[in-house]
A and B are shown apart, each in its own frame.
Chain A
Amino acid sequence: MQKEIPRAHRRACLRITLALLAVWFFISFGCSILLRDWLDATMPAVGNAPFGFWMAQQGSIIGFVLLLIAYAFLMNRLDNNHGYTKDK
């Protein structure tokens, strides 16, 4: 029993980390660099800005902030579920 909690916790933690990093990669390198030309041409413009350009200069940064909020929320909930309550 002693070792079970850390292991389960670590696996779940890794899942969250990888999922968030996948989103991170998609919005920064994916949308803003690799797929930019395609997105500019096919996606609807954001306001008057081409989609890929907007992602590179505004959207990705907003996305990063949201990612960190999601990370804090998911990880704190995970800690609670595994019984890692507040320190002291």
Chain B
Amino acid sequence: MSQDTLNFILIGLSFALYIAIAFRSKAGSTKEYYVAGGGVSPFANGMATAADWMSAATFISMAGTVAISGYDASRFLMGWTGGFVLLTVLMVPYLRKFNKATVPDFVGDRYYSKLARGVAVGCAIFICMTYIMGQMRGVGVVFSQLFGISITSGVIIGGAIVFFYAGLGGMKGITYTQVAQYAVMAFAYTIPAIYIAMALTGNVIPQLGLIGNYSAGSEVVPFLEKLNNINTELGFSEYTSGKMSTLNMFCITAALMCGTAGLPHVIVRFFTVKDVRAVRKSACWTLAFIAVIYLTAPTIGAFSRVNLIEKLHNTPYSGVPSWFHEFEETGQMAWVDKNDDGRIQYFGPGKSEEGSFTVFLGSKSPEYPAFDAPERQRIGKYGERLLANKADDSNPNELWFGNDIMVMANPHMAGLPMWVIALLMAGCIAAALSTAAGLLLVLSTSISHDLMKNILNPNLSDREEVNYARFASFVALAVAVYFGINPPSQFIAKTVAFAFGLAASSFFPTLLMGIFSARMNKQGAISGMLAGILFTFIYITYFQFLGGTPDQYLFGITPEGIGFIGMLLNFTVAFAVCAFTEPPPEEIVAMVEEIHIPSSHARDNDSCTDKN
């Protein structure tokens, strides 16, 4: 059986499963559509949230990022897991108690203002839109590789599938499909890691392998020492010590954590369980399931870096393993023979005077001559695929590879059986679909519930609202598909900073003050939100799109981490304005008191349960 057939079978099976589940748990009412009827078990919700959280980008490129930047990549590992601690202890139990369907709902009611609700809806839509574009692109790329179709048709097929079960099934439909998708993803991620850990370190558990010994070479040495040696020999900085400044590292980690705690599509997941107790339990499961993948990512990164370098560095091109040619074909790896010795050399910035290790000039990813170009322009003298880019002769590095190669090429490098590769493909699609579906739902509810019903037309009936939601999800998806097909160049990668920066500087402080400070009024919250968003937005736009240079950074903080400063600004402005304006009305203060009481049951029976 060929690899393609196996891929088809495994992905086909997983699709049949998702659609069957979505069909069985189709939503009827608005409550089922928005929050799955509020009766999902904590365990199932934990799995579903984990699947929602693991996007295609995380699934494919996180291990690659760790492999390339070593310790510095810890900011993502910690930022995207530690945020759940904030989310759980500060946010979701209280928001769940408040018992509304969406996050802008809380902002609008707590700050008794349509303007506040409007700002929140705007942020929610922007955050989800930037995210979902990348997901659709990811689905398209995987489909096009699999079925040999164009990326455009890949994106459209992916969009149709997502619409089918998210648009129709609502939260109830996607929650149960995400449970299945998590299972597929977890196996797809951990099985290759286990194989490689056994091959390189003789340890079955990859996490022990990482701190264990490297046993595949002629002598047994500590694995991380081996990795550090390889790195320094080739002119990279030591794997276990970073080169990012401590302040910057701190700010980025903090921005990612607070951003995570303020992402509307994550918060809304916890509205699907029964009560506050179930929220706490569900959060434990969520983080545990996420940790399975996040604890494996650094091991995959480290192992595959050693594997890649051992297999390719100083190898004659004629002797490279066959997978190298496959990735050359798809444009994920490239070799430029600068010194004309027919061998692949991989060197870091330490080996050149300029401190760079770019392989070719011009764009970040390789460009190729047209298919109808003469053969000598397309194929080099060793049979390699030639690039249209000019070689960068200021450094000796000859090997280029994309970040996502570490996960995708891993099973090939380790010579794993074909079904593992097919499983990986299925896992990758599961990651993209589950995140896209979750985001789509938040987008459609933001539009139908917050914008249509609560701001524009309060007389909407339940039935009409669900139909609006379905219609909104169709429109949102159409926009996402459009941008998936025509990505605004480098835009998507850069918008991640945007999504987290905005969530950290808008939702996180606003929700936090709304829950813990009964004194906070609408003037304070709105001016704080606007100050935070504007500052973050302008800073990121200036440096990412208008050509600001790194030496203009405020305290050397990159745009990734500026959300943290935006958040501090939001707090400061909000409290300052609040101090000079009148306190919120009495019923709001009572409402804030109310959300701190974990269940309504005890309040009715105060007299018989008092222990104090």
Which residues of A come within 8 Å of B, CB atoms?
1-2, 4-6, 8-10, 13, 17, 20-21, 24, 28-29, 32-34, 40, 46-50, 53-54, 56-58, 60-62, 64-65, 67-69, 71-72, 75-76, 79, 81-88
Given contacts A5-B610, A76-B280, A83-B611, are A28 and B597 in contact (CB under 8 A)? Answer: no
A-B contact pairs, 5 of them (CB 8 A): A49-B224, A53-B71, A58-B207, A75-B280, A86-B601
Chain B min CB distance to A72 (Å): 4
CB B90 to nearest CB in A, in angstroms, measures 7
The interface-forming segment of B21-29, B287-295, B335-343 is B287-295
CA distance A20 to B86 in the complex (A): 10
Partner of A47, one of B93, B212, B609, B611: B212
Given A17-B90, A67-B85: A49 touches B240 (CB 8 Å cut-off): yes
B82 near A24 with CB under 8 A, answer: yes
Whether a CB of chain A sits under 8 angstroms from the CB of B612 is: yes
Does B222 have its Cβ within 8 Å of any Cβ on chain A? yes
- Contact at B222–A48, with CB atoms within 8 Å? yes
CB pair A88–B601 under 8 Å, yes or no, is: yes
Given A1-B610, A61-B81: A34 and B250 within 8 A (CB)?
Answer: yes
Across the interface, do A58 and B298 meet the contact criterion of CB distance under 8 Å? yes
Complex contacts, B249 vs chain A, CB 8 Å: 33
Q: Would B82 and A33 count as touching, CB distance under 8 A? A: no
Chain A contact residues: helix, strand, loop or mixed: helix
CB contact under 8 A between A64 and B284, given known A34-B246, A56-B71 = no
C-alpha spacing A57/B208, complex, angstroms: 13
Instruction: Collect the chain A residues with CB atoms within 8 Å of residue B444's CB.
Output: none
**A72 contacts which of B211, B241, B284, B610 (Cβ < 8 Å)?**
B284
Which residues 467-514 in B have Cβ within 8 Å of A in the complex? none
Q: How large is the interface on B (under 10, 10 to 19, 20 to 34, 35 or more residues)?
A: 35 or more
The answer on a CB contact under 8 Å between A87 and B74 is no
Q: Which of A8, A48, A67, A82 is in CB contact (< 8 Å) with B224?
A: A48
Q: What are the residues of chain A within 8 A of B211 when measuring CB–CB?
A: 46-49, 54, 58
Chain A's closest residue to B213 (CB) is A48
Selected from B82, B253, B257, B610, the residue in CB contact (under 8 A) with A83 is B610
* Residue in A6, A10, A49, A68 whose CB lies within 8 Å of B88: A68
Contact in complex: A79, B223 (CB < 8 Å): no
- Contact check, A60 vs B287: say whether CB atoms are below 8 A apart: no
With an 8 A cutoff between CB atoms, is B171 at the interface?
no
B82, A82: Cβ atoms closer than 8 Å: no
Chain B residue contacts of A34, Cβ below 8 A: 246, 250
Interface residues of B in 47-77 (CB under 8 A from A): 66, 71, 74, 77
Contacts of B213 in A (CB 8 A): 48
Contact of A57 among B277, B283, B298 (CB under 8 A): B298
Q: What is the bound-complex CA distance between A29 and B275, given in angstroms?
A: 32
Chain A residues near B210: list those with CB within 8 A: 47, 49, 58
- Residue contact A64 to B81, C-beta cutoff 8 Å: yes
Is B84 positioned at the interface, with any CB of A under 8 Å from its CB?
Answer: yes
Q: What is the CA–CA distance of A67 and B74 in the complex, to the nearest angstrom?
A: 19
Q: Does B593 contact A (CB under 8 A)?
A: yes
Which residues on A sit within 8 Å (CB–CB) of B597?
6, 9, 84
Q: B281 near A: Cβ within 8 Å? A: yes
Known contacts A10-B596, A87-B601; A61/B280 CB under 8 A: no
Residues of B within 8 A of A33 (CB): 246, 249-250, 253
Distance A46 CA – B593 CA, assembled complex (angstroms): 46
Q: 19 new A-B pairs (CB below 8 Å) besides A33-B250, A68-B287, A71-B284?
A: A21-B89, A47-B212, A54-B211, A56-B78, A57-B77, A58-B211, A61-B291, A62-B291, A62-B295, A65-B287, A68-B88, A71-B283, A72-B281, A72-B283, A72-B284, A82-B602, A82-B611, A82-B612, A87-B277
**Measured between C-beta atoms, what is the minimum distance from B60 to chain A in Å?**
19
Chain A residues, Cβ within 8 Å of B240:
40, 49-50, 53
Contact between A71 and B601 (Cβ–Cβ < 8 Å)? no
Which of B's residues lie within 8 Å of A, judged by CB?
A: 66, 71, 74, 77-78, 81-82, 84-86, 88-90, 93, 207-208, 210-213, 222-225, 240-241, 246, 249-250, 253-254, 257, 274-277, 280-281, 283-284, 287-288, 291, 294-295, 298, 593, 596-602, 605-607, 609-612
Measured in the bound complex, the distance between the Cα atoms of B252 and A10 in whole Å is 32
| Cα A29 to Cα B66 with chains together (Å) | 19
Cβ contacts under 8 Å, A10 to chain B: 596
Most chain A beta-carbon contacts within 10 A, residue among B77, B211, B224, B283: B211
Nearest A-chain residue to B222, judged by Cβ: A48
A46 to chain B, nearest CB (A): 6
4 nearest interchain CB pairs? A47-B211, A83-B609, A48-B222, A56-B74
Chain B residues whose CB sits within 8 angstroms of the CB of A79 once the complex forms: 277, 598-599
How near does chain A come to B34, taking the closest CB pair, in angstroms? 20
* Bound CA–CA A32/B274 (angstroms): 36
Considering the complex, give the chain B residue whose CB is closest to the CB of A67.
B85
Q: Which residues of B contact A82 (CB under 8 A)?
A: 602, 611-612
Beyond A34-B246, A65-B291, whether A84 also contacts B74 by CB under 8 A is: no
> In the complex, how many angstroms separate the beta carbon of B488 from the nearest chain A beta carbon?
33
- B212 to chain A minimum Cβ distance, whole angstroms, is 6
Given contacts A58-B210, A65-B284, A65-B287, contact A83 B602 (CB under 8 A): yes
Say whether A85 contacts B602, CB under 8 Å: yes
| Chain A residues in 8 Å Cβ range of B223 | 48
Instruction: Say whether B78 contacts A28, CB under 8 Å.
Output: yes
A20/B71 in contact, CB under 8 A: no
Rounded to whole Å, the gap between the CB of B353 and the closest CB of chain A is: 28
Residue of A at shortest CB range from B211? Answer: A47
Known contacts A6-B596, A65-B287, A72-B284; decide if A87 and B275 are in contact (CB<8 Å). Answer: yes
Contacts of A57 in B (CB 8 A): 66, 71, 74, 77, 298
CA distance A53 to B241 in the complex (A): 8
Residue of B nearest to A56 (CB): B74
Using known A-B contacts A48-B223, A53-B240, A68-B284, determine if residue A85 contacts B609 with beta carbons closer than 8 Å: yes
Are B280 and A71 in contact, CB atoms less than 8 angstroms apart?
yes
* Smallest beta-carbon distance A74→chain B, Å: 10
Of the candidates A5, A46, A54, A84, the one whose C-beta lies within 8 Å of that of B599 is: A84
Q: In the complex, A54→B298 CA distance in Å?
A: 10
Q: State the CA gap A9–B595 with chains docked (Å).
A: 12
